[in-house]
């Protein structure tokens, strides 16, 4: 059984940066907490906990030491409050997410009604919405759009891990209904590359495995994209979830991983698949 790995797969710059900043904070000797899971990868978060990095569910759970802002970003008011409490704040917001924040603020300041293409309950989208004034319209599909817009000038910003197809569908649905539409394509390049290479590989192999947190939006979308072209697509976090039955009769197996999946985690799954062959 041959294993092929997608050209673009695994941990991205923003996640690497966040992990490095958290590790540096540990070296300060102070109590270190992240505000929510640093990244959407349970194994990486558990490894950080082993280094002494705790997860604070809210600011009330962080009274001293260093607070690391997760890669997904937060409402800027949270950072202000944390600093006012005397916490040392390390902002590990992904630079691509910061660009989405900037775009949302610019649209709001320009008088546009802001539409965010993304998951309403995702922490990244919550942060983008805060930068847009807190009253953005949040949708993933055209069907979720309101029947009428109170403002005929619409500005769109998109969650960095969404797919280009979803963004395009919303744009096409809004365009005939407004007098002005401004679009910031804030899908990060790492996400776009991973989605394209995963789809290409999935169409060329007998079975496909996508590695990453089940709570990871970007990994879940990789699995969705792969499943559209290859029904034998499976999303796992670790090698323990692999089922030998998935690979019966498979000559070539493709592997990709989400942008929040450390290389060692992907390597472990690849080694386990090899052992099955």
Three-state secondary structure of 70-128? CCCCCCHHHHHHHHHCCCEEEECCCHHHHHHHHHHHHHHHCCCEEEEECCCCCHHHHHH
Closest C-alpha to 177, from 153, 158, 156:
153
Residue 23 is among the residues annotated as catalytic for this protein: no
Q: 169 versus 30: which is more confidently predicted?
A: 169
Task: DSSP for 5-54, please give it.
Answer: E-SS-S--HHHHHHHHHHHHHHTT-S-EEEES-SSS-HHHHHHHHHTTEE
Give the model's pLDDT for residue 3: 97
State the average pLDDT over residues 271-277.
92
Between CA 29 and CA 44 the distance in angstroms is: 21
Which tokens sit at 181? 């539409």
User: Minimum mean pLDDT among 34-38, 182-186, 189-193, 271-275: which range?
Assistant: 189-193
Between CA 142 and CA 36 the distance in angstroms is: 30
Give the model's pLDDT for residue 156: 98
pLDDT tens-digit profile of 94-135?
999 999 999 999 999 999 999 999 999 999 999 999 999 999
pLDDT tens-digit profile of 187-219?
999 889 999 999 999 999 999 999 999 999 899
Between CA 129 and CA 135 the distance in angstroms is: 7
Query: How many residues are given for the chain?
Result: 277
Which tokens sit at 147? 């029947």
Domains of the chain: 2-10+191-276 (3.40.1010.20), 13-92 (3.40.50.11270), 96-187 (3.40.1010.20)
Please determine, for residue 160, whether its predicted confidence score (pLDDT) is greater than 80: yes
Between CA 29 and CA 148 the distance in angstroms is: 54
Burial class (CB within 10 angstroms; exposed 0-12, middle 13-18, buried 19+) of 121 = exposed
Please determine, for residue 52, whether its predicted confidence score (pLDDT) is greater than 80: yes
Q: State percent of the chain over pLDDT 70.
A: 100
Which one-letter DSSP state was computed for residue 221? H
Give the model's pLDDT for residue 195: 95
Question: Which residue among 54, 61, 80, 124 is the active-site one?
Answer: 124
Please determine, for residue 244, whether its predicted confidence score (pLDDT) is greater than 80: yes
Model confidence at 49, pLDDT cuts 50, 70, 90, reads very high
Give the model's pLDDT for residue 124: 96
Please provide residue 64's backbone torsions phi and psi, each rounded to the nearest 5 degrees: -155, 170
pTM of the predicted structure, to 2 decimals: 0.87
CA atoms in the 13 A half-sphere facing the CB of 140: 11
State the average pLDDT over residues 2-26.
95
Please determine, for residue 29, whether its predicted confidence score (pLDDT) is greater than 90: no
Please determine, for residue 277, whether its predicted confidence score (pLDDT) is greater than 80: no
Give Dmax (Cα) for the chain: 61
Closest C-alpha to 157, from 198, 120, 185:
185
Q: H or E segment at 193?
A: helix 189-202
State the average pLDDT over residues 248-264.
95
Closest C-alpha to 184, from 199, 162, 208:
162
């Amino acid at each position: 059984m041959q294993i092929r790995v997608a050209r673009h797969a695994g941990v991205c710059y923003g996640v690497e940066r966040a992990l490095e900043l958290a590790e540096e904070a540990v070296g300060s000797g102070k109590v270190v907490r992240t505000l929510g899971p640093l990244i959407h990868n349970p194994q990486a978060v558990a490894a950080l906990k082993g280094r002494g990095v705790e997860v604070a569910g809210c600011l009330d759970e962080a009274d001293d030491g260093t607070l690391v802002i997760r890669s997904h970003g937060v409402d800027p008011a949270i950072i202000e409050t944390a600093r006012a409490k005397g916490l040392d704040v390390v902002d590990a917001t992904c630079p691509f997410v910061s660009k989405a924040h900037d775009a949302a603020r610019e649209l709001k300041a320009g008088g546009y009604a802001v539409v965010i293409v993304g998951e309403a309950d995702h922490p990244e989208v919550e942060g983008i919405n805060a930068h847009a004034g807190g009253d953005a319209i949040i949708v993933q599909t055209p069907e979720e759009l309101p029947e009428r817009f109170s403002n005929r000038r619409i500005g769109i910003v998109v969650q960095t891990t969404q797919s280009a197809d979803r963004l395009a569908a919303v744009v096409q649905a809004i365009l005939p209904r407004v007098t002005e539409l401004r679009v910031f394509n804030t899908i990060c390049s790492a996400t776009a590359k991973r989605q394209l290479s995963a789809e290409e590989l999935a169409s060329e192999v007998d079975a496909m495995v996508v590695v990453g947190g089940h709570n990871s939006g970007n990994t879940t979308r990789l699995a969705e994209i792969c499943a559209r072209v290859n029904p034998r697509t499976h999303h796992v976090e670790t090698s323990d979830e692999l089922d030998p039955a998935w690979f019966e009769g498979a000559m070539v197996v493709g592997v990709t991983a989400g942008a929040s999946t450390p290389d060692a985690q992907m390597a472990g799954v690849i080694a386990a698949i090899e052992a099955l062959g």
